[in-house]
Structure 1
Amino acid sequence: MNARIFHTAVALGAVLSPMTAHADPASEARLRADVETLVSFGTRHTLSSASDPVRGIGAARAWAAREFAKIGTACGNCLDIVQPEQTVTGRRVPEPTRIVDVVAIQRGTERPNEVIIVQGHIDSRVSDVMDATSDAPGANDDASGVALVLEAARALSPQKFPTTIVYAALSGEEQGLLGGKVLADYARAQGWTVKAVLNNDIVGGSCGSDGYCDDAHVRLFSEGPRADATDETRSAARRFGGENDSPGRNLSRFITNLVPGIDPAFDVREIWRADRMGRGGDQTPFLELGYPAVRFTVAVENYDHQHQDLRTEGSTFYGDTVEYMDFPYLAKVTDLNIAALGALAKSPMPPAPRADAAVKTWTDVTWEPVAGAATYSVWKRATNAADWEAEPIVTGTSETSVKLEGLRGDDWILGVSASSPSGAQSPIAAAVPGGAFYPLQQD
């Protein structure tokens, strides 16, 4: 049994157990309708009108809030709608402007302070990032991400989870990742334990501007060295390893291993970078606060249909319109997000393990108990291996320490996962400096 199949079998138990019904596949029709509605607001530029009822960022945010309210009503008022905001000025915001996120919170039944976030950004732009009046459809960038978030809320809100799921439409991404910062600051102010952030930005297209197409993969970006690392952590990582074991990197491995149980013809291409070269996304403010976060984006980007004024030059049309999207592809990415959210929402937090193998022929691995965990598993992989081995070296233990006789720790990365009483397994946290799924710098 290979690593991916084994991990999939364990993790999908979090979605398919008797406690919850399996979510229906994402609806291409609903995804299209949501994208078309967002495009109909003309522009959703952050500096556009916040009060016009039919055009601009304010109208788009109001619509998103109404959609979340409809979803909440359908599940018996299971969603709390909040709109955290900050007033911002900066290089791309010359006058004080309210940056408002539209957020729906599905409270967990057992550990409501333990949170998973799925998000996309609702704002759009054209060629000039300061142009707040021209039509900026923003179909793929990023109405696709917001439509995904709404569809995830529809799929998962009828179910009950021990931990909280947060669905978010963020503002101000194009003006400097501002809405991501608003929500990250809000999460910290609420005292949330953020287990994972799934940022979806440009997730609805399958063909690039050079004609190359790929509808069989989605890229998943994850940071290597932690953005919130201290000098002490960086020094320890140089001595003990961990450059490839940030929480985001192990979250990426966890999500990738879900894919075969969802659609064998679809796959994740893990990209071991925090984001695309020279660019950024709304996962970044969460990483800077020490929260595990990853970014989903298309396998191949089309730069003719991204950040462009609407125009035709020669035979080439420029502009981010609905016609150039691939809704069956967006549905695949949505299904993967839904499966990941369900698996994460049912599992405990990953432990914070420590490994001691200095000057001895065995390795001791220890960790503290985790709320909601019934058992733990210990994993290993070679230091130059991409993924954890197919099966754990210790499984189903209720203890919080193990002695691995004959395992010389110099040659291995060790990790520990936690499982709920129903068998829902957490991502693996590596026993390396900075490997725990918690901020390194506490307030």
Structure 2
Amino acid sequence: MKNTGNLKTLKASLTASITLPILLAGTAVFAEEPSIDIEAESSLLIDFETGQILHEQNAEAYRGIASMTKMMVEYILFEEIEAGNISWDTEVNISDYAYAISQDYALSNVPLQLNGTYTVKELYEALAIYSANGATIALAEKMEGSESAFVDRMRSLVEEWGVDEYELYNTTGLNNSYLNGNHYPGSEADAENAMSAKNIAKVAKNLIKDYPQVLETSNIPTKTFREGTSDAILMMNWNWMLEGLSHERMDVDGLKTGTTEYAGATFTGTAESEGHRLISVVMGAGDGMTDRGLRFDETAKLFDHGFEEWTYKTLIEGDVVLQNVHPLAVKNGVAENTSLKTVESLSYYVPVSDQDEKASYTFQPNEELLNQDGEIEAPVAEGDILGELILDNQDDVEYLEGESDRIVQVAAADSVERAGFFTVFSNLVKDFFSKLGDRF
């Protein structure tokens, strides 16, 4: 007969003893999560560092992404530069296709000369500041030989990020009907790029995480393209939330707008305040032709909501000995137990209204390390992972990647050497007679 009573008692004791004075309470993590209504078809607000969702409205609905597509072009461009395959000074020749698109002034464009030569930096700035479509195509052709080959790379990239539902047919986000027959193989004549707000947020999050220098360009309100040449044109950033523009907000430094008849007015924004960055997505905020400013009004509401209604709190400090948890018993050691400490910290955004509330955590020991009496065998080294702290009732905490079981690993706070031969032998004898007694 296996003696499991002591182990059950140990676990119950550990669970009961770990109620800590943290910050949340109730049967859910947030007693009353702040809410906001956004005038758009879809909207989303996330914490950049963790991906925690602070607001979502139809965020999984499939919608046109228009020129927000160009964030994927930016990412791959930075990849190519990082790999040394091209540089900012690399010269790019303009194809018939890129030239023709650049001459369509019904679209966002800078004028390109047929067979002209431009640097990667010039074309990138035109893409990032002015959403120039011809410049985008020229860059894609330079990197992969053709736009369709570049689209294949975009598709592979987003799949690596866990984006499993998308439509990607070109690098610009334009409807195929504008591309003079230069369509992705097999795509319809009116096909257009589409994703959900959650998936386009993954694109933005990865872009900023891996290549934060993108914000140095996305933050430029106005710049003259090829100043002093016949190609010169003033580029005013389509992100009107930048300094000096109509919807100026000083904490906003990116990221990418998009407008088509299918998508409506869209915007992936980002702002930083007091060291914390948020990413917003607004899709279908008006038709994009008569309501171009609405997406920025709604984005401002999202950032106000995030920075004013939520506060970022460290719920568990890292490298802290747990005072309210019983030390873990050690068998055959020179000491009878080892204290426990956190290996890392755990932080969340919590509603401002809940920041003084409390929550409970449960310590869950690693059962594979414990014997039937709930003891760990010596030797034990300081820092050995012995279990984890789990936040109780955390189902209301949602993340962009879907994870909901944020945990903190717990380690031994003390080293415990193995006891001498006679102590170990004595314990073996005791165990033998204990098990023998259980059989009768």
Fold match, TM over 0.5?
Answer: no
Could you tell me the TM-score, scaled by structure 1's length?
A: 0.25
What TM-score comes out, normalization by structure 2 length?
Answer: 0.25
